[in-house]
């Protein structure tokens, strides 16, 4: 029996290793219960890509993971070419590892693939980044000497613009972007064609700085350039703890009148709690509603933060309302989520809509057919049946 099990594991492992990227179910990217969390980022300059990665293991007693690197030129390629990256491992511990490597632009494949392998089970997970010649990101932040791979930091944190000691231009935008429209809406919320820059200032690479105002920041060598990197600055994030930040995400499950009352509460906990209690009808259900809902909000902020808060994005909205999809497939121009459960049987298509502020932004292709499912699930939320 043990021999048979081993053969099965080897067969499954071989199939994972030799599989087109477009055929892989990437649902594990958005699974908070996955055995580990892996982040991958590429920074481009004229001569090279700097590849940064971080692997954080949840069960530190079973940390036998390794990372193998390969390149692929097409999403339909079953196998990639092994890459011998000169990895500078910045940190390794029982909880995981992080590091970076430099890849010359002339040697760069179209897709860089990180294959995370658990040695004891021979199971593999694949993660990839497109190394396009137009890749705009050309710098990054560090915090307490560690890489910042999340697209957000907090107002209380001190960070360093990592590359060299030259001056970098920082454009600050305080604009409050609209939340995503429902999945069945025939029109997305209107967004202005351009954003007003609130301020522009300089920072020096290698020096610590604190970004004390909420909003989005774009750091560039030249403000007329199409290169740079952006990140959001928030107070309590990705998990909200301040009462003043709780009203916004609830708009997806509130009536307009309820939402207006939540905003009017303006930090008054008793007034806020009355609205939630009127929705859920009893105290324990109200607690369950808030606990379950804001766990989803936290995950949406973690996975989908863009130029706006994660809960406001299209993928964040769908994740909050319908939960983690059973299947996620990634293509050059879109991401496809398949749901097949008791709540929903359907497909959501997200079209890639890249910008300097977010090269990996996605916009939901809305369809009126989701209206009934939407209101059915909203009713479950309001009755705290999650």
The set of residues, in sequence order, having a beta carbon less than 8 Å from that of 362 and lying 6+ positions away, is 313, 314, 315, 334, 335, 350, 351, 352, 353
**φ/ψ of residue 259, rounded to 5:** -65, -40
pLDDT in tens, 104-113: 999 999 999 9
- Average pLDDT over every residue of 8-22: 59
pLDDT in tens, 193-206: 568 899 999 999 99
Residue 132: is it exposed, middle or buried by C-beta count within 10 angstroms (0-12/13-18/19+)?
middle
With bands split at pLDDT 50, 70 and 90, how would you rate the model's confidence at 13? very low
Element (H, E) at 328: strand 327-330
- pLDDT attached to residue 385: 84
User: Does pLDDT of 18 surpass 60?
Assistant: yes
User: Does pLDDT of 15 surpass 90?
Assistant: no
- Cα separation, 118 vs 330, in Å, equals 23
Nearest CA to 127 out of 36, 194, 193 is that of 36
- pLDDT attached to residue 85: 85
| Angle formed at CA 60 by CA 295 and CA 91, multiple of 5 degrees | 100
Lowest mean pLDDT among 57-71, 149-163, 178-192: 178-192
With bands split at pLDDT 50, 70 and 90, how would you rate the model's confidence at 21? very high
> What is the pTM assigned to this prediction?
0.92
User: Does pLDDT of 10 surpass 50?
Assistant: no
- pLDDT attached to residue 12: 39
- Cα separation, 152 vs 304, in Å, equals 11
CA distance from start to end of the chain = 40
164 vs 238: which has the higher pLDDT: 238
Q: Give the other-Cβ count within 10 Å of 86's Cβ.
A: 8
- pLDDT attached to residue 90: 79
- pLDDT attached to residue 59: 86
- Average pLDDT over every residue of 275-289: 95
**For residue 35, cis peptide bond before it (omega within 30 degrees of 0):** no
pLDDT in tens, 216-263: 999 999 999 999 999 999 999 999 999 999 999 999 999 999 999 999
If DSSP codes are grouped into helix, strand and coil, which group holds residue 28? helix
- Cα separation, 167 vs 220, in Å, equals 9
- Average pLDDT over every residue of 155-174: 92
Residue 64 CA: distances (Å) to CA of 119, 135, 136, 258, 265: 6, 33, 35, 50, 50
- The sign one gets for the Cα dihedral 184, 190, 191, 196 is negative
- Cα separation, 71 vs 335, in Å, equals 21
User: Does pLDDT of 73 surpass 90?
Assistant: yes
Give exposure, 352-366, as e/b (b: 16+ Cβ within 10 Å).
Answer: eebebbbbebbbbeb
- pLDDT attached to residue 303: 98
- pLDDT attached to residue 188: 56
């Amino acid at each position: 029996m043990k021999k048979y099990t081993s053969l099965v594991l080897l067969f499954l492992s071989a199939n994972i290793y030799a599989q087109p990227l477009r055929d892989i179910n990437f649902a594990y990217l958005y699974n908070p219960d996955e055995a580990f969390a892996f982040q991958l980022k590429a920074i481009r300059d004229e001569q090279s890509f700097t590849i940064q990665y971080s692997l954080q293991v949840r069960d530190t007693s079973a940390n036998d993971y390794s990372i193998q690197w390969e390149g692929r030129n097409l999403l339909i390629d079953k196998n990639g070419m092994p890459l011998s990256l000169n990895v500078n491992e910045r940190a390794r511990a029982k909880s995981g590892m992080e590091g970076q490597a430099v890849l010359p632009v002339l040697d760069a494949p179209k897709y860089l693939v990180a294959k995370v392998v658990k040695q004891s089970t021979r199971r593999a997970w694949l993660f990839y980044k497109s190394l396009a010649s137009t890749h705009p990101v050309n710098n990054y932040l560090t915090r307490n000497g560690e890489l910042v791979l999340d697209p957000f930091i907090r107002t209380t944190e001190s960070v360093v613009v990592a590359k060299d000691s030259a001056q970098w231009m920082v454009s600050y935008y305080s604009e409050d972007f609209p939340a995503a429209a429902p999945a069945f809406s025939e029109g997305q919320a209107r967004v202005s064609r351009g954003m007003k820059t609130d301020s522009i200032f300089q920072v020096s690479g290698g020096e610590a700085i604190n970004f004390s105002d909420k909003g989005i920041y774009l750091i560039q060598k030249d403000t007329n350039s199409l290169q740079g990197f952006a990140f959001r600055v928030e107070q309590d994030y990705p998990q909200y703890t301040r009462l003043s930040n709780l009203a916004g995400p609830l708009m997806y499950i509130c009536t307009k009148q309820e939402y207006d009352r939540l905003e009017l509460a303006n930090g008054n906990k008793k007034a806020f709690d009355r609205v939630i209690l009127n929705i859920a009808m009893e105290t324990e259900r109200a607690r369950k509603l808030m606990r379950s809902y804001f766990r989803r909000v936290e995950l949406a902020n973690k996975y989908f933060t863009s130029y706006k808060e994660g809960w406001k994005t299209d993928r964040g909205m769908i994740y909050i309302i319908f939960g983690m999809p059973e299947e996620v497939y990634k293509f050059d121009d879109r991401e496809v989520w398949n749901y097949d459960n008791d709540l929903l049987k359907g497909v959501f298509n997200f079209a890639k809509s890249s910008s300097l502020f977010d090269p990996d932004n996605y916009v939901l292709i809305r369809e009126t057919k989701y209206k009934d499912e939407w209101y059915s699930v909203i009713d479950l939320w309001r009755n705290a049946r999650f």
